Amino acid sequence: MKVVFMGLGYIGLPTATVAANKGLQIVGVDINARVVDTINQGKIHIIEPGLQELVRNVVTAGNLRASLVPEEADVFLIVVPTPFKGGNHEPDITYVEAATKAIIPYLKEGNLYIIESTSPVGTTEKMMQLIYTERPELKNMIYIAYCPERVLPGNVLYELEHNDRVIGGVNEISTEKAIQFYSQFVKGNLHKTNSRTAEMCKLTENSSRDVQIAFANELSLICDKAGINVWELIELANKHPRVNILQPGCGVGGHCIAVDPYFITADFPVESQLISKSREINNYKSFWCAEKIKNTILEFELKHKRKPIVAIMGLAFKPNIDDLRESPAKYIAQKVMQAELDGLLIVEPNISEHPVFKLTNYEEAYGKADIVAFLVAHNEFKALPWKEDKVILDFCGIFKK
Ligand code: SAJ
């Protein structure tokens, strides 16, 4: 079976590689010539544990080849980003559209076309119309489905194979064909539905997590005012057999949870009150942390008649990764930089250098700083000793004090 993957990014490349490793013939198409060259040399342009070795193997074996242009195949997968339009939160499906238009000339009877990109409800049906408008002779001659990915960055290779997947065709036969396709490389259960439900399911999963984190973040604000340790509170509440509260932090980042809920609120603004408010709360939490650090700096100056040395601990969007995309910690660090301190030490143990931030070793920064703001719960930080002589702002539960 020959498969064309449109998009070789954080999801496209690992999925293409896993499928190639199971013996499928994969052509990965990307608009970026550097990405295509890198992969054809058996190297990778993204960071994901275990991926480099697997890509080298499948490229050497001839099962994965990257290209700038599509070609005829049995299956076509669309795995491109769906960003926002301009500065507002309206989903932009032009990449999905462009990738679809690029493969339309290569489609033939019996082909399977699948969208994996996170998409607003109704996108798969829209793309079906686009295909049939340009190629009316293919109507009901090809299979069309939506199948979202749900892998966790950092654990992608394992989860690609083992997670259950939701597969929604535009009709039953399309669902069946897509199930047959994924069963070649997915061990998890494959659940059948229609394309609209599958689209909404992806948005629902990430919105659900966003709403639950917003609840934890709201609790953290209440507890700060009430003089209650939020970490202890949540641990105790979670002893109830039917309560499972997530952890507060310095906001919600990454390319998924802080983004996907807007795909619902943009299309259903009246109905999505809770989802919309949760986005606001999680964004506000980052602003609140930055303000808290700035106020602590002012209090220190008043008390000690000198500017403090401040350590910002962590820049990544979540613990133990080197990914700074859409990171609330990075946003907070930038806000604190505006305070123009002489002694601002920025720490991110998972990266060695950064174009904007001058990085300091985490132990050195912790030793030198008067005020320490923990933004990301990296494992390295959890091993640091509690120091009475410092002002510690623990936004992510390092010491849970
Ligand atoms: N966070 C908290 N408190 C928590 C848990 C997370 O503040 O208790 C924060 C993290 O620090 C981070 C953000 O939320 O800033 C998102 O991190 P995450 O680990 O929850 O999720 P992602 O963005 O790495 O991956 C999510 C996953 N979705 C769900 O868990 C429902 C993943 O399975 C999806 O495949 C991925 O989004 C995606 O691509 O959509």
Where residue 183 sits, what CATH number does that domain have? 3.40.50.720
Which of 154, 176, 195 is the endpoint of a domain? 195
Same-domain status, 79 and 133: yes
Ligand 1: which residue has its CA nearest to atom 27? 152
pLDDT score for 321: 87
Question: How many independent structural domains does the chain possess?
Answer: 2
| Relative orientation angle of helices 94-103 and 123-134, to the nearest 10 degrees | 30
Instruction: Out of 47, 164, 209, give the residue to mutate to test ligand 1, the one with the largest number of ligand atoms within 8 Å of its CB.
Output: 209
Amino acid at 297: I
Regarding whether 257 and 121 lie in a shared domain, the answer is: no
Q: Is any ligand 1 atom within 6 A of the Cβ of residue 201?
A: no
Distance (angstroms) between ligand 1 centre and the Cα of 91 equals: 20
Active site residue 256: yes
**Residue 394 amino acid letter:** D
DSSP string of 146-204?
Answer: E----PPTTSHHHHHHHS-EEEEESSHHHHHHHHHHHTTT--S-EEEEEHHHHHHHHHH
- Evaluated on CA atoms 106, 112, 113, 114, the torsion sign reads negative
Domain end point (choices 176, 195, 214) = 195
Report the nearest atom of ligand 1 relative to the CA of 159.
33
Torsion of CA 199, 201, 203, 208, to 10 degrees: 170
Q: Are 252 and 210 in contact (CB under 8 A)?
A: yes
Q: How much is the pLDDT for 339?
A: 81
Domain final position from 145, 173, 195: 195
Q: Are 190 and 245 members of one domain?
A: no
**206 assigned to some structural domain:** no
Q: What is the pLDDT of residue 277?
A: 98
Distances (CA, A) of 63 to 25, 97, 129, 158, 239: 5, 27, 32, 20, 50
Tokens of 288: 């609140």
Residues 273, 190 within the same domain: no
13 and 100, same domain (yes or no): yes
Is 203 part of any domain?
A: no
Domain of 179?
Answer: 2-195
Let me know if residue 284 belongs to a domain.
yes
Q: How far is CA 371 from CA 50, 313, 360, in A?
A: 38, 11, 15
Whether residue 104 lies inside any domain: the answer is yes
Q: Are residues 300 and 362 in the same domain?
A: yes
- pLDDT value of residue 138: 98
Element spanning 311, H or E? strand 310-313
Q: Which of 312, 296, 262, 302 is nearest to 282 (CA)?
A: 262
Could you tell me where the DSSP H helices lie in 238-361? Answer: 261-265, 273-304, 328-337
281 and 177 housed in the same domain = no
Tell me the mean pLDDT per 10 residues along the chain, length 401: 97 98 98 98 92 98 98 98 87 97 98 98 98 98 97 93 98 98 98 98 98 98 98 98 98 94 97 98 98 96 96 96 92 92 93 94 98 98 96 96 83
Q: Is 202 a catalytic residue?
A: yes
Question: Cβ distance 74 to 1 under 8 Å?
Answer: yes
Does residue 35 lie in a domain region? yes
- Looking at residue 214, what is its pLDDT? 98
The radius of gyration of the chain from alpha carbons, rounded to an integer in Å, stands at 24
pLDDT at 218 (0 to 100): 98
- One domain, residues 232 and 347: yes
